[in-house]
Structure 1
Amino acid sequence: MEKKEIPFISRLFLPSIFDLIVVLVFVIMFMAHQTMKDFDMWWHLRTGQVLLQGIFPTTDIFSFTAYGKPWILHEWGSEVIFYLLNKTFGAGSIMLLRALLAAFSLGMVFKIMMRKRIDIFVALFLTIITLFATSKIWGERPHLFTVLFLTFLIYLYNEYKYYNNNKVLLVLPVLFIVWINLHGGYVIGFIYLGACIAAETFNNFFQFNKDDVFPQSRINRLIGITALSFLCTFINPNTYRGVLYPLLYVGDKMPDFHKIIQEWMVSSWENSKDFVLVFLFVISMLSLSSIKPKLDELALILVFGYFAFSAQRHVPLFVIVVLPIIAPQVQGTMAHFFDSFFQVAPHKGKQTIQKIINYFKDRSDNFVCLEEKLSIHGTLVVFIAIVSFFVLSGKLDKPLGIGIDKTVYPYEVVDYLKTKKLNGNMFNQYRWGGYLIWELPDNKVFIDGRLDIFQKKGMDEYYKVMGLQNGWEEVLKKYNINYILVDKEQTISKFLLRVSNDWFLEKEDKKALLFSRK
């Protein structure tokens, strides 16, 4: 019997599972995080403001410790977007953008699995795991664009390899032009493509997996478009410096991120239980399933697994890349489990369970077919439009408490400093540097989140003062520091408050202490 074509009006407004996932994740993300908590957002906003004033800094302009040192604005596009949104609509617009980027990223993970004809319930299960395992990455920062673009890249690669869709390759140069102008994480895309190309070339030459040999002509086409995409990354205001930016994090001049920055620390059970559990899940599925991963999939698991173990910030990338890869293994293992269960289950209960499984299987097959036809996403567009109207109009600010999280910033002290002309420079806590750049534009900071500028020397001086290490007072004298703004719980706070005779407490609030030199 021939299936009836779905009327256009139904395809326009009937939501797909993709639509529902995007809506659900958006609601979760938006309701769970309604205040700006990311400490780096503030210097991003100030940078966006400077850029829109017609100035494109190539050296530091915000600090007195690194003033004039080379500064590569690898996130300039994101910073302009953030500033325009915040200026025009307020903090709620940034929360809206954050939730939308997260929602579409998770939606794309689901879509990748559905395109592989994975059982819808398996795809939903793995998407939920992805949601929880990537929870640490969804702060309001430019790297959200890298996460979204990575999901696009995975989808495009799969379309090219498995569905012979050559046209999708034309999107890659454009994708990378946009990517490099929004975030320096564009290099992740080339690592992904490089791993796939290397694995496919190796397999084509040695016939490691004869059932999955990618024709050399198609590999060459992928190599060519990847090379063109790389050349296109030079289309950015920083030209070659923007392309080479990721290399700044390698070398003796940079601080040891693995020891001082939480997100750069090596992943372990103590700090990344979610990742360890996901990794064990991946290994168990690959071990139990009779479906062996293809060589390019194995290469991606190894490469992104290495990155995930080397730094916590890379864990979400591993999850997003790897879970769709092992979806067939998960589906096969679950099917094998139920087959084994039916062999030993009592006859009476077996029939009931079999009916339930068949019911969901039939529904899953129908959903897969329906999902492919519901590609207009009219309901999703309407939902986003309505929510955007209420958020951008400010109607939800008070009911939802949208704004700044005053519990993590020296809010009252900064208000006090706005009325005071500083006689000398101020030492500040690292995480508050961006906030001070935004709130006190006439004053330069000691340090902020731009570690590529301050490098190892700047971080060493910072920790020398914070830890009252030998020579800490010389650092203060070197930079003519007459004010110190730090958290109440820091060692230096207690020392200056109780022991030192050279400093007095000028102002305090619930979070911070401001000391002045006597």
Structure 2
Amino acid sequence: MKIINNKNRFQRTELFVKVSVTLIIFFIALRVPFDTDFFWHLNAGKVSFEQQSVLLSDFFSFTKYGTPWVNHSWLSQIIFYIIYRMFSYPGIMVLVALVATATMSLIYKSMKGNSFVKAFLIILAVLISAVVWSPRPQIFSLLCFAILFRFVKKFDDSLKKKYLVYIIILFLFWSNLHAGFTLGIAFLTLFVLGKIFDFSESKQRTEVESKKIKYLLFLILICSLVVIINPNGIETWKVQFDTVSMKSLQNQIDEWASPDFHKLEQQPFLWIWLIITFFAFSTSSNLLFQEILPIIFFGSLGFLAKRNFAPFAIVIFPTLAKLTLLFFEQKIRNVRFFDKLKLSANKANLTPKQNIQIIINLFFVSIIGLAIFGKIFVLSNTLVLKSYEKKLFPADAMDYLTENGLPDGNVLNSYAWGGYMNWKIPELLVFVDGRTDLFGEKIIRDWTAMVSAKSGYDRLINEYNIKWIFLENDNPIVEELIQKGWATNFKDDLCVILSK
């Protein structure tokens, strides 16, 4: 009877921790749904939805107007637009929080060990991953990656072929949601290479392991082909490599820059490396190559660009949980101090009675639930949303243009605000927005030269027939053009509009 009671108590604790952690993650993931890239994604989703065909050419800029555009995120964009159309910004906020929570929950399920240790580790995973929790297609890509990781582990444990079918279907959807499917192919490849190394080093080479390797190699081939089934065809493979090969990415886009560990919010990535290094050296871990290779690869990507923190979290934390459990088994369990502490706790009978424990658990969960509803209520308030919009985007300047009309000629606009400007005033064709893969190295380089007032910038202004600018106040070109007699149409603390 005592064993049954202990088992029930353990199950209640597991459930309580799991529910609490899930709700806490959801609470953390609830944010005002504004992102510089969100608006051009929303605009593209609107066009695709209204014309009932995928938008595959540019209609938002004058520099690339009418040219083909590899719109690899078309399905995500339509999802965003439908949610926005039905529920406006609060709907987008809840959607992003749900996807982020589902991703973290899959990581939690992939970990083994004590529920409280897993809860601590998943909070660390949240600290690493939260940097990319924004209303953009990559949020769906991270969910797909977490699902892939789960399915691969399930197949590896059971050899059930149904998981291979699930993975193929997953890649079919993934390649239409976001070009990040290449991370999935990379993970599969590294996992199989690791299994091959493990198999070659093993003294007991079983037929089962040999079959797994053959099936997974075939799976990589099928998945590499199935991703072509989308409106972009083979181009969906090319766009990812075209994007990462652009030298201007790290200079212009913060998420593509390497992490700055002097900033507290970026340090958890480094903490995890230190923790896993400590556990790896302090235990006889004998990690498999199928675990090591993905960790090294995605960890290296994290050092190159902050946007890769989240994929790293997906592959590292199940292994980190395994090492934590091993460290406890080998180093902590037999320490006399902890034995005495455990014995004292058992004698004191600190565990509350069943009914009291249930009431405490429900009370705690209810508090988190109320906090979630309170946060949704506050962040959904129109005044709060407008306040954030004015803080992050040139809302007043756009109101000015709406009331007074657009100046004649082409505009040199902020890279960060291009999508927002075109969303607010569809007839306003911008110089550039967040679609670096569309604009390419030359246009981004020319844009940088102009806004920085580098030598020859005036030649570029004439070449692109720039008649007015819409930029942040601190850009060097602003003072240069004012000195040359350009008129100040609008100016506030955030931006300035000048016309020739």
TM range (shorter): 0.7 to 0.9
In the other structure, the counterpart of 1:445 is 430
* Per-residue deviation, 1:395: 9.6
Q: How far has the Cα of 1:300 moved from its partner?
A: 1.2
Kindly tell me: are residues 421 and 494 of structure 1, through their superposed partners in 2, closer, same or farther at Cα, counting changes over 3 Å?
closer
Match of 1:411 in 2: 395
- Asked whether 1:20 is paired with 2:20, we answer yes
Give the aligned partner of residue 370 of structure 1: none
Structure 2 contact 124–268 (Cα < 8 Å) conserved = no
Deviation at 1:217, TM superposition (A): 1.3
> Which residue of 2 is the match for residue 47 of structure 1?
44
CA distance in structure 1 between the partners assigned to 2:328 and 2:56 by the alignment: 55
- Pairwise mapping of residues 80-229 of structure 1 onto structure 2 (< 5 A)? 80-113=78-111, 117-204=112-199, 206-208=200-202, 215-229=209-223
CA change 1:111–1:359 in 2 (3 A) is farther
TM-score (norm 2): 0.86
Structure 2 unaligned blocks of 5 or more: 353-364
Deviation digits for residues 5-40 of structure 1 (CA, Å, limit 9, x no counterpart): x99xxx9xx96644433222112221xx2x233101
More relative contact order in 1 or in 2 (CA 8 Å, sep 6+)?
1
Provide the rounded CA distance (Å) in 2 between the counterparts of 1:513 and 1:212: 69
Q: CA deviation at 1:350?
A: 5.5
- The residue type equivalent to 1:264 in the other structure is W
1:512 equivalent in structure 2 = 495
CA shift in 2, pair 1:201/1:350, >3 Å: closer
2:253: which partner in 1? 261
**Cα distance, 1:399–1:447 mapped onto 2, change above 3 Å:** closer
**Secondary structure of the corresponding residue to residue 36 of structure 2:** coil
What one-letter code is carried by the residue in structure 1 that aligns with 2:238?
L
Are the counterparts in 1 of residues 490 and 497 from structure 2 also a CA contact under 8 Å?
yes
- Kept in 2, the 8 Å contact 1:255–1:459? The answer is no
Letter in 1 for 2:340: Q
Q: Percent identity?
A: 25
3-state DSSP of counterpart to 1:502: coil
Q: CA deviation at 1:49?
A: 1.0
Taking structure 1 as reference, are residues 413 and 200 closer, same or farther at Cα in structure 2, changes over 3 Å only? same
Following superposition, the deviation at residue 352 of structure 1 comes to: 3.0
Matches within 5 A, 1:378-389: none
Report the alpha carbon displacement of residue 222 of structure 1 after superposing the two structures with TM: 2.1
Query: 2 CA distance for matches of 1:213 and 1:505?
Result: 76
> What's the counterpart of residue 59 of structure 2?
61
Contact 1:203/1:213, CA 8 A, preserved across alignment = no
- Amino acid in structure 1 at the alignment position of 2:41: H
- Work out whether residues 250 and 257 of structure 2, in 8 Å CA contact, stay in contact via their aligned partners in 1: yes
Aligned to 2:293: 299
Q: What secondary structure, in the 3-state scheme, does the structure 2 residue paired with 1:431 have?
A: coil
SS at match of 1:430: coil
1:503 alignment partner, one of 467, 486, 489: 486
Matched, 1:351 2:340: yes
Look up the equivalent residue of 2:191 and give its one-letter code.
C
Gaps (5+ residues) in structure 1?
364-379
* Structure 1 residues 514 and 209, CA gap change in structure 2 (3 angstroms): farther
Is residue 397 of structure 1 aligned with residue 380 of structure 2? yes
Contact 1:209–1:294, Cα closer than 8 Å, also in 2: no
Distance between the aligned counterparts of 1:91 and 1:250, measured in 2?
Answer: 30
Say whether the 8 Å CA contact 2:194–2:289 is kept in structure 1.
yes
Of stretches 82-91 and 224-233 in structure 1, the one that deviates more from structure 2 is: 224-233
CA RMSD of the aligned region, Å? 3.3
SS at match of 1:38: coil
Quote the offset at 1:509 in angstroms: 2.7
For residues 378 and 267 of structure 2, the distance between their equivalents in structure 1, rounded to whole angstroms, comes to: 39
Aligned pair count reads: 474
1:369 matched to which residue of 2?
A: none
In the superposition, relative to structure 1, how do residues 418 and 17 fare at CA in structure 2: closer, same or farther (>3 Å)?
Answer: same
Q: CA 1:136–1:396 in 2, change beyond 3 Å: closer, same or farther?
A: closer
Q: CA deviation at 1:47?
A: 0.4
